Amino acid sequence: MGTERKRKVSLFDVVDDPAAKMAKTNGGRADGGCAVANNLINRWNGKPYSQRYHEILEKRKTLPVWHQKEEFLQVLKDNQTLILVGETGSGKTTQIPQFVLEAVDIETPDKRRKMMVACTQPRRVAAMSVSRRVAEEMDVNIGEEVGYSIRFEDCSSARTVLKYLTDGMLLREAMTDPLLERYKVIVLDEAHERTLATDVLFGLLKEVLRNRPDLKLVVMSATLEAEKFQGYFNGAPLMKVPGRLHPVEIFYTQEPERDYLEAAIRTVVQIHMCEPSGDILVFLTGEEEIEDACRKINKEVSNMGDQVGPVKVVPLYSTLPPAMQQKIFEPAPPPLKEVRVESLLVSPISKASAHQRSGRAGRTQPGKCFRLYTEKSFNNDLQPQTYPEILRSNLANTVLILKKLGIDDLVHFDFMDPPAPETLMRALEVLNYLGALDDDGNLTKLGEIMSEFPLDPQMSKMLVVSPEFNCSNEILSISAMLSVPNCFVRPREAQKAADEAKARFGHIDGDHLTLLNVYHAYKQNNEDSSWCYDNFVNHRALKSADNVRQQLVRIMARFNLKLCSTDFNSREYYVNIRKAMLAGYFMQVAHLERSGHYLTVKDNQVVHLHPSNCLDHKPEWVIYNEYVLTSRNFIRTVTDIRGEWLVDIAPHYYDLSNFPQCEAKRVLERLYKKREKEKEEARSRK
C-alpha cells in the first residue's frame, strides 16, 4: 500500500469569500445570478434567504472547520480521496457536506435531476437530526434539497442534493446501484467507529473510485487512527481540524464502582445539587437500564424537594420512536436542569470512545466529564480503539451482500482489517448449505433473493421457501417478531403476573409459535397499547415488528413470493410452520441425549434450554434461534421439531458419512433406514 505517497496538508487560514465561490459555482444559470452572487437568493431553491439563515451563518463561521474551508476545498479539488480528522465540536458533520456541495458540479445532462452528495452515519438518530439541522442551515425544507434516508423512512426527493443516510443504507443502495452513480461525493462520517457497514463500504468504495474517476470520497474520523486510513487509501491526504470549542475537565472515581448504574444516578444527583445549570449526558448500555435510571433520577430529585431545582430527564435509545429521540435536541427551558440518558456503545468502551464521549461535554460551553472508573483502570484496562466489528462478527450476511455486490474473490477483497480466512470460509459454507451459493461459490437465484432481505441468511431462507410450506404469512410474522427486541415485559414488582400473562400466549411446541400467538393477539386487539400494557408485552416492540413485517412483505412481493396460510383448523397448520422454520434453521438444531442434556448438531456442544422457554416437555429435537453464553450455554427461542423432517428437508446437511459418531447420528441412521423402507414399500405396491 502506497504509504510512501503520504502527504500531510499544512494548516493555514484563508480569508473566506463565499459570495465569489457561489457566483462561480452557480454556473450559467440566468435566473437571478446576480442576487445569488450577492447572497440574497438561495441557489438551491431560488428563494430569498431568511433572516434566520444569516444569523445561523454567522454562528457557523465560528466553527473550527470554517477556518480551513478554503484549504479543504483545495485538497478536495486536487484529490479523489481525502481523510479528515476532526474531533467532536469541530463542526465537520454539518459543515463539510455543505462545503462539498458548494464546490462540486452536480449538474447532469438531465436538467431535472442533479447528482447528490451523501454523508453516512452509523446511527439513525444522527442521520435524521443532522440532516434536519443542515436543512435549517441551508434554509431549505427537510426532505427537499436536504434529506435523509434510514430504514423505514426515506425523507428525500428528486430535488435532494445532500442526503444523510446510515452506512447500512448506503450499502443496501450499492446493491442496486453498484457504482453509486447518483452520487458525486460520498462522505463517510464517524469512520473510526468501524461498523461492519463502514468497513465493507471502505473496500467497496475503493473499487468504485477506480471505476469512477469523477467520484470523490471524504473519510471523516474523530480519532488518530487516521494514519491507518491514510495507508489504506493509498496515501490520501490527511487534514486535521482542531477539536472541541471549550475545555472539558475530566474526573475519575477513587475506587472502582461496584454498581455503575447506582453510581451514575448518584453522580447525576450530585452534579444537579452542586454544579451550575446546564445539561448532563449519561451513557448507559440498554433500554431497561435507561428507563430505570430516568425513573430513579426523577424520584431522587423530587425527594429532595425545594432544596434543588427541577430536573427534566430525557431518555434516548434506538427503539424509541424517532419523534421521541428528537426530543433530546430541544433546548431545556432556562430554569430547568436537564439530564439526557443515552445509550450508544456497549462497554467496556475504548479509550478512543471515552475520549470522544468526554468531548460531548464541551460542545456548547466548558464542561466536566465524570468517569465512573478509576484513572488507573482507564490507563490499563481500556483498549486504545474499539475493535472493528468485522473482526468479531459472524459474516454470513456480509458475505452474501458482498457476493450480491459482485465481489467474487472474498479472500482478496481489500478489507482494511481482513477477517480471518476461517471466518470467511465458515460464512461461505453456511451460505452453500442454505443454497445461496453453489459449489463454486457463485450466487444462486435463491441467494440473490435472500440477499435482498435485511435479515440473517437463515431467516431469509425460511422466508423465501415458506410459500412452499404454505405458511408465508406466519413465517413473516415470526421473522418480524424475531427481528425486534424481546417483547415480553417482566417488571420486578409484577413478575408473577407477567409470567402468567406470558403463559397465556404459550404454545407447547415452542417459543417461535408463542411469538406468533402474541403477534396474532396484538393484531386481534387492534394494536391497542393498553391491551399490551395489561398483557405485559412491549407495545413499542410489537409496533416495530409490524413495521418490519410490512417491509418484508414488500420484499416478498417484489419477488412474486406468494402470501399464504394453511387452514388454521388443519392439523398441518403448525406442522407446516415448523417445517418451514427448519428449512432455514437446520444448522441450529440440538438433540436430547439419553443423559438428559442437549447437544448441538453443528458442533456437539452441551447446551441448555433457556429458562424463558415455554415448552412443557423436553423434545427430542429442537431448533433454536440463538445460542447465548451467560451463566451457562443456553439456546434461546426453541421449537420442537421431528427428526424425520431433518432427513426430509436437509439431507445435504444431515449427510451421515461426514457425521461424528454420536447418539444423534444413530437416531438419524434409523430414520434414514425407515425412509428407505417406506420408499421400497411404495415402489412394490406399484
Partner DNA sequence: GAGCACTGC
Site track 40-79 with DNA (rule: CB under 7 A), x = hit: ----------------------------------------
Q: Which stretch binds DNA (CB under 7 A): 123-131, 211-219, 503-511, 647-655?
A: 123-131
In the complex, the smallest distance separating the C-beta of residue 82 from DNA, rounded to whole angstroms, is 25
Size of the site for DNA (CB under 7 A): 37
Q: Which amino acid is at 431?
A: L
Nearer to DNA, 343 or 466 (CB): 343
- In this chain, which of 64, 89, 91, 122 binds DNA, going by CB under 7 A? 122
> Which residues are registered as beta bridge partners of 607?
598
Q: Which stretch binds DNA (CB under 7 A): 6-14, 68-76, 281-289, 580-588?
A: 281-289
- Please state, in angstroms and as integers, the Cα–Cα distance from residue 64 to each residue in 240, 361, 585, following that order: 10, 17, 52
> Which residues are registered as beta bridge partners of 635?
609, 627
- In this chain, which of 90, 160, 195, 358 binds DNA, going by CB under 7 A? 195
- In this chain, which of 43, 69, 163, 172 binds DNA, going by CB under 7 A? 172
Q: Does 505 bind DNA (CB under 7 A)?
A: no
Q: Which stretch binds DNA (CB under 7 A): 25-33, 226-234, 316-324, 641-649?
A: 316-324
Q: What whole-number distance in Å separates Cα of residue 325 and Cα of residue 315? A: 8
Are 84 and 239 spatial neighbours (Cβ–Cβ below 8 Å)?
A: yes
Which parts of 212-350 fold into alpha helices (H)? 226-232, 260-274, 287-303, 322-326
Q: Does 485 bind DNA (CB under 7 A)?
A: yes
- In this chain, which of 32, 143, 418, 454 binds DNA, going by CB under 7 A? 454
Sheet holding 311-316, edge to edge: 279-284, 337-343, 311-316
Which grid coordinates belong to 507? 404454545
Q: Does 286 bind DNA (CB under 7 A)?
A: yes
DSSP class of residue 453? S
Nearer to DNA, 128 or 140 (CB): 128
Q: Which stretch binds DNA (CB under 7 A): 165-173, 333-341, 350-358, 666-674?
A: 165-173
The 10 Å Cβ neighbour count of residue 401 is 22
In the complex, the smallest distance separating the C-beta of residue 315 from DNA, rounded to whole angstroms, is 11
**Nearest to 557, CA basis, from 480, 476, 478, 474:** 476
Nearer to DNA, 196 or 265 (CB): 196
Sheet holding 116-121, edge to edge: 153-155, 146-150, 162-166, 116-121, 183-188, 216-221, 81-86, 238-241
- In this chain, which of 124, 461, 512, 579 binds DNA, going by CB under 7 A? 124
Q: Does 264 bind DNA (CB under 7 A)?
A: no
Residues 6 or more apart whose Cβ sits within 8 Å of residue 26: 33, 36, 37, 43
Contacts of DNA in 383-422 (CB under 7 A): 397
In the complex, the smallest distance separating the C-beta of residue 123 from DNA, rounded to whole angstroms, is 4
Contacts of DNA in 331-370 (CB under 7 A): 343, 346
**Nearest to 166, CA basis, from 318, 31, 330:** 318
In the complex, the smallest distance separating the C-beta of residue 503 from DNA, rounded to whole angstroms, is 10
The 10 Å Cβ neighbour count of residue 176 is 8
Q: What are phi and psi for residue 253, nearest 5 degrees?
A: -80, 155
Q: Does 317 bind DNA (CB under 7 A)?
A: yes
In the complex, the smallest distance separating the C-beta of residue 492 from DNA, rounded to whole angstroms, is 9
In the complex, the smallest distance separating the C-beta of residue 573 from DNA, rounded to whole angstroms, is 27
- In this chain, which of 123, 192, 194, 404 binds DNA, going by CB under 7 A? 123
Nearer to DNA, 485 or 651 (CB): 485
For helices 539-558 and 511-524, give the axis angle rounded to 10 degrees.
Answer: 100
Nearer to DNA, 318 or 517 (CB): 318
Q: What whole-number distance in Å separates Cα of residue 128 and Cα of residue 131? A: 5
Q: What are phi and psi for residue 488, nearest 5 degrees?
A: -85, 125
**Nearest to 559, CA basis, from 478, 651, 484, 467:** 467
Q: Does 506 bind DNA (CB under 7 A)?
A: no
In the complex, the smallest distance separating the C-beta of residue 607 from DNA, rounded to whole angstroms, is 12
In the complex, the smallest distance separating the C-beta of residue 454 from DNA, rounded to whole angstroms, is 3
- Please state, in angstroms and as integers, the Cα–Cα distance from residue 206 to each residue in 121, 139, 418, following that order: 18, 34, 15
- In this chain, which of 495, 524, 529, 604 binds DNA, going by CB under 7 A? 495
Which grid coordinates belong to 191? 469512520
Half-sphere exposure at residue 375, Cβ-oriented, CA atoms within 13 angstroms: 5
Sign, Cα dihedral of 156, 158, 159, 163: positive
In the complex, the smallest distance separating the C-beta of residue 124 from DNA, rounded to whole angstroms, is 3
Does residue 178 have a cis bond before it (omega within 30 degrees)? no
- In this chain, which of 36, 197, 241, 395 binds DNA, going by CB under 7 A? 197
In the complex, the smallest distance separating the C-beta of residue 574 from DNA, rounded to whole angstroms, is 22
Q: Does 287 bind DNA (CB under 7 A)?
A: yes
- In this chain, which of 631, 657, 661, 684 binds DNA, going by CB under 7 A? 631
The 10 Å Cβ neighbour count of residue 108 is 13
Q: Does 300 bind DNA (CB under 7 A)?
A: no
In the complex, the smallest distance separating the C-beta of residue 165 from DNA, rounded to whole angstroms, is 7
> Which residues are registered as beta bridge partners of 311?
337
Nearer to DNA, 242 or 454 (CB): 454
- Residue 622 host element (H or E): strand 621-629
Q: Which stretch binds DNA (CB under 7 A): 82-90, 117-125, 227-235, 271-279?
A: 117-125
Q: Does 588 bind DNA (CB under 7 A)?
A: no
Nearer to DNA, 151 or 182 (CB): 151
Q: Does 593 bind DNA (CB under 7 A)?
A: no
Are 41 and 35 spatial neighbours (Cβ–Cβ below 8 Å)?
A: yes
Nearer to DNA, 93 or 166 (CB): 166
Are 43 and 30 spatial neighbours (Cβ–Cβ below 8 Å)?
A: no
Q: Which stretch binds DNA (CB under 7 A): 190-198, 234-242, 519-527, 675-683?
A: 190-198
Q: What length is written for the chain?
A: 686
Nearest 5 degrees, angle CA 29-CA 34-CA 38?
Answer: 125
Q: Which residues bind DNA (CB under 7 A)?
A: 122-125, 150-151, 166, 168-169, 172, 195-197, 285-289, 317-319, 343, 346, 397, 454-455, 483, 485, 490, 495, 611-612, 628, 630-632, 634
